[in-house]
Amino acid sequence: MSMAGTADSPLDIVTKQFESIYKTSPTVFSRAPGRVEVLGNHTDYNEGVVLSAAIDREVWVAVSKSSSAECRLTSGIFPESVVISKIEPLKSRNRWANYPLGVYRTLLDRGYPVAPFNLAIHSTVPLGAGVSSSAALEVATALALCGLFGFEVDPAELAKICQSAENHFVGANCGLLDQFSSMFGRAGHLLFSDFRSLYHNAIPIAAGDVTLAITLSGVTHSLVAGEYNSRRRECFEAAKFFQAKNPEQKTLRDVSMAELKSAQAELDPQFFKRAMHVVGEDERVFSAIELLKSGSMKEFGALLYQSHESSIHNFENSCRELDILVDIAKSIAGVYGARLTGGGFGGATLTVLKTEAKDRFGETIVQEYKKRTGRNTTVHFARIADGASIV
Ligand code: GLA
């Protein structure tokens, strides 16, 4: 207990955990939140734009320098500790350790002055809920190592280092959205990110009276990674079609909706649909910013439903269960909008709702989903939170 009658803070928890394993005190702490994609689906790797939010579920990391040539890692969720002397990806047990190790390896490879360390992790980011617990762990580790070894890296560059660790060390393909959102999110705001220029900006949302609901479909598609990669490829193929005509057009970000529509007859129908989704999502993100500025939450919510429709018909990354979750959300008073969030092919939906509608939403969605699918759903309510920091 940190004070009589109060629960331990994340800082207390991670400190105790660190001290019980390493018998010494940590010297640097950092925290990084999970994230949710609000609008702009599969646009990040197409150099497009996204609205996202950091959420009030966080990974906390405590570190100290190691006196040996080995890194030692421990996690409150997987309580065994791991000792690492050779920095290579772990293949069997303790895979979670690959995220911090990947960040360490990437920093080393890029010449940053890092050395072996002791690290403890405490997390309140739900696992498998599509809110990027892995990106949060990477970002928290990266900040902690900067603090521990006393060097500075531009935060956008640090987010890219974390993405590279996930792509090349862990071996999971993802765009930059997850790490970027964890790094730059801001309480009471949606984060606008431009993945061409890496410009980002915080846009206020509904005077803070908004809650996000992340609703799990309970469907996990065994081929998610394969589907994600094949969609990526199809987007790149669509971009190549335009590039062949105009070398200036390198990605789908360079293609307007009008150009895309006028090329329909010549473009492979599958590539056309994928491009319709991505180009449409970029447009919806820009429209959403204007609507948020004028406080038009109902119209903003309508864009979320449109995004989901486009996922169903164009990108084909939805499934029956996600469609049902969106459909139920639509019928509940106080809901602004809902859509699948993240990669898709199962996973979760995001609902943006009035905070006062939380209980109604929670009860209705659980009951109705069970009735219509026979499945159970889990709802995580989240507030929009600040991005990562050294504590
Ligand atoms: C996953 C990836 C992100 C992004 C989304 C789709 O969450 O990790 O980089 O591509 O899918 O928008």
- Which ranges in 294-357 belong to alpha helices (H)? 297-310, 320-330
Q: What is the CA radius of gyration of the chain?
A: 21
Tokens 């998610």 belong to which residue? 224
What tens digit of pLDDT does each residue of 250-307 get? 999 999 999 999 999 999 999 999 999 999 999 999 999 999 999 999 999 999 999 9
Tokens at 286, concatenated: 């820009």
Whole-number pLDDT of residue 7: 80
Whole-number pLDDT of residue 222: 66
Whole-number pLDDT of residue 92: 75
Domains along the sequence of the chain with CATH: 10-205 (3.30.230.10), 210-382 (3.30.70.890)
Whole-number pLDDT of residue 2: 43
The H or E element spanning position 346 is strand 346-354
Long-range pairs, 8-12, Cβ under 8 A, ≥24: 10/58, 10/60, 10/122, 10/124, 11/60, 11/391
Whole-number pLDDT of residue 338: 98
Residue ranges lining ligand 1, Cβ < 6 Å = 37, 41-42, 44-45, 174-175, 177-178, 342-343
Contact 332, 357 (CB under 8 A): yes
Residues 6+ apart with CB under 8 A from 39: 50, 51, 281, 284, 285, 288, 303, 304, 307, 339
Pick from 28, 1, 25, 23: nearest CA to 12: 1
- The answer to whether residue 178 is catalytic is yes
Give percent of the chain with pLDDT exceeding 70: 97
Whole-number pLDDT of residue 5: 52
Among 177, 235, 311, say which to mutate for ligand 1: greatest number of ligand atoms within 8 Å of CB: 177
What tens digit of pLDDT does each residue of 34-44 get? 999 999 999 99
* CA–CA separation, 159 and 182 (whole Å): 9
Whole-number pLDDT of residue 1: 41
* CA–CA separation, 276 and 262 (whole Å): 12
Pick from 285, 371, 359, 272: nearest CA to 321: 371
Task: Mark the ranges of the chain whose per-residue pLDDT is less than 70.
Answer: 1-6, 207-208, 221-223
Whole-number pLDDT of residue 85: 86
Tokens at 91, concatenated: 């293949």
CA of 342 to the centre of ligand 1 (A): 5
